[in-house]
Amino acid sequence: MTAIFITATGTDVGKTYVAASLIRHLRQMGRLVDAIKPVVSGFDPAHLALSDPGVLLHALGLPVTLPEVDRISPWRFAAPLSPDIAAEREGRSIDVDSVVTFCRTAIDQRRDILLIEGIGGVMVPLDAERTILDVMMALHVPLILVAGSYLGTISHTLTALDALYQRELKVLAVIVSETPGSSVPLDDTVASIGRFAAPVIALPRQSGSGKPGEPASPLDRIFGP
């Protein structure tokens, strides 16, 4: 695999947390990892380290600076809304073709493996006609679908998978990122989704640090130890 697109069933389900975990896991395996998140909403330059690009840069071992953020996330918007609305609030628009070109250039220039983090859920709008799914279809690279473990996530996950399967996109795995404070046990959610898809991987919020003596990361199921 040379590039993987990380998408999700919706916003705030842990997509960036999973992307950062994957980056650390691959680096511990000795892989050279690059990552981009082309479109970001809810971006506050006063809190770079807490932003999605900042989290990715930290996992990559790179300085969390505005020039680095600009390099991996060119389309940034302040409002924590869907990107089409966030862009409109600023009198701007997103050129979806340019987003696709940006991603393809990053794939061509990767050192080894590239992770591309999407925005929001599988069909969040980027402009008046196209969604992030159109970007995934244009790139046609393998996908990881991130879901939460909250009540209702099973239906959301199966709906997202159906949209991906209908477009003949390859889903490497479903990663269920533990939702803090959820009333639904993580293992129960994984088991239920696992009746309809495979592999389905549980990612507890404290897993995957890779320190000596700790259990193997669940991400080994995708990439191997």
In the predicted model, what is the mean pLDDT of residues 16-26? Answer: 94
Strand 171-177 versus strand 143-148 pairing type:
parallel
Q: Cα–Cα distances in Å, from 132 out to 37, 117, 125, 206?
A: 12, 11, 6, 29
pLDDT digits (tens, 9 = 90+) for 71-111: 999 999 999 999 999 999 999 999 999 999 999 999 999 99
Burial 11-32 (b: 16+ CB within 10 A, else e): eebbbbbbbbbbbbbbeebeee
In angstroms, the CA 44 to CA 51 distance is 7
Note the pLDDT of residue 222: 75
**Least confident residue range of 12-16, 183-187, 215-219:** 215-219
**Least confident residue range of 111-115, 212-216, 221-225:** 212-216
Note the pLDDT of residue 194: 97
Note the pLDDT of residue 214: 36
* AA letter at 23: I
In angstroms, the CA 62 to CA 78 distance is 23
Which token pair is 189? Answer: 């959610």
**Mean confidence (pLDDT) of the chain:** 92
HSE of 30 in the Cβ direction (CA atoms, 13 Å)?
2
In the predicted model, what is the mean pLDDT of residues 153-160? Answer: 97
pTM reported for the whole predicted model: 0.92
Q: Cα–Cα distances in Å, from 143 out to 94, 132, 135?
A: 22, 13, 12
Q: How many residues does the chain have?
A: 225
In the predicted model, what is the mean pLDDT of residues 121-150? Answer: 97
In the predicted model, what is the mean pLDDT of residues 4-24? Answer: 95
Kindly list the catalytic residues. Answer: 37
Note the pLDDT of residue 225: 55
Phi and psi, residue 92, nearest 5°: -125, 175
pLDDT digits (tens, 9 = 90+) for 47-60: 999 999 999 999 99
Domains and CATH numbers, the chain: 3-151+166-223 (3.40.50.300)
**Least confident residue range of 17-21, 116-120, 221-225:** 221-225
